[in-house]
Amino acid sequence: MDKLQEFQVAARRDGFVEVPDGDDANVAWFRNELPDRNTNVHKRLCIDSLSSCATVYWETDGAKLNSLTFRTVSSMKAWLSLHPAG
C-alpha cells in the first residue's frame, strides 16, 4: 500500500475524518471526530504528498498550539495511541 494511503487509513482508524480545505492537491486535511478532553479542541492532521509525512496539530491548556511531524505511519500510530481524543 502507498505510504500516503497508509497514513490516511491510520488516521481514519484513530477517529479522524477528512475535511475539505482549499484546492491544494498535495495535502489532505483531517479533523479528529472527538475533541481532546482538556481543551475541547479537535486535533488536526495534515498529510503531505510532497514530503511523504503527516503532521498533527493540537492545542494544550492555555491555548498553546503544538505540532509534531511523522515520517513513518508506525510512529504516528504509536503517538496517537498515547494521546487519544475524548
Residues present in the chain in total: 86
Q: Quick check: helix, strand or coil at residue 27?
A: strand
pTM assigned to the model: 0.88
pLDDT tens-place string over residues 34-61: 888 878 889 999 999 999 999 999 998 7
Containing domain of residue 49, as a range? 3-82
Residue-level pLDDT at 53 = 96
Q: Grid coordinates in use for 62?
A: 492555555
Q: How many helices and strands (H and E) does the chain possess? A: 2, 5
Nearest to 78 by CA among 52, 54, 42, 49: 54
Note the pLDDT of residue 40.
85
Confidence at residue 30, expressed as pLDDT on a 0 to 100 scale: 95
Task: Indicate the number of domains in the chain.
Answer: 1
Cell 510512529 found at: 75
